[in-house]
Amino acid sequence: MASRTASPPPDSQHVSALIDDPSFNPEPASDKISAYYSLVFPTFTYYLQTLNVTIGRRCIPTSTASSSEQTQVDVDLGPLKSVSRLHARIEYEEEEERFVLVVLGRNGAWVDGTWCGKGNKVPLRER
């Protein structure tokens, strides 16, 4: 994810000079995140920073050591049984220069309001 470097704290004289300055804006600057794509969910946003991302539900608690037999996902959709452990994958198609969602779960997936069954590959569009 985004890496940040801490700067030394300002001295009190510098802070009071900023506050007295009529052009001083106390609103923090918006942090920009470098990502290929973003997945917006009701409770969180996931920023794609790699060309392949897996989506599903975790099969083991994150505090437990995982074995090679248990699939781990990049985006955890929660404990719902309607979500497969490995539900979908987003990958970049170099030939087409686009991201696609590959439906892997037996229950299918809704993509932009359209139902897609297992095995479908759906191009993701810009928003």
The residue range of the domain holding 42 is 34-123
- Residue 98 is assigned to a structural domain of this protein: yes
Q: What is the pLDDT of residue 126?
A: 74
What percent of the chain is modeled with pLDDT above 90? 37
Q: Which of 49, 31, 29, 30 is nearest to 39 (CA)?
A: 49
> Cα–Cα distance between 109 and 115 in angstroms, integer?
6
Classify residue 4: in a domain, yes or no: no
In a domain, 94, yes or no: yes
Q: Does residue 117 form part of some domain?
A: yes
Side chain identity at residue 96, one-letter code: E
Does residue 12 lie in a domain region?
A: no
Q: For residue 48, tell me if it sits in a domain.
A: yes
Does residue 1 belong to any structural domain of this protein?
A: no
**12-67 pLDDT per residue, tens:** 333 333 334 444 454 555 678 888 888 888 888 999 899 999 999 987 655 555 55
pLDDT at 38: 85
Q: In which element (H, E) is residue 12 found?
A: helix 12-20
- Number of structural domains (the chain) is 1
Quick one: pLDDT at residue 118? 95
Q: How, if at all, do strands 52-56 and 45-48 pair? A: unpaired
Give the per-residue pLDDT at 70: 63
Any domain includes 58 = yes
Contact present, 105 and 95 (Cβ < 8 Å): no
pLDDT tens per residue, range 57-114: 987 655 555 555 566 899 998 888 889 999 999 999 999 999 999 999 999 998 888 8
The confidence score (pLDDT) of residue 123 equals: 93
CATH of residue 68:
2.60.200.20
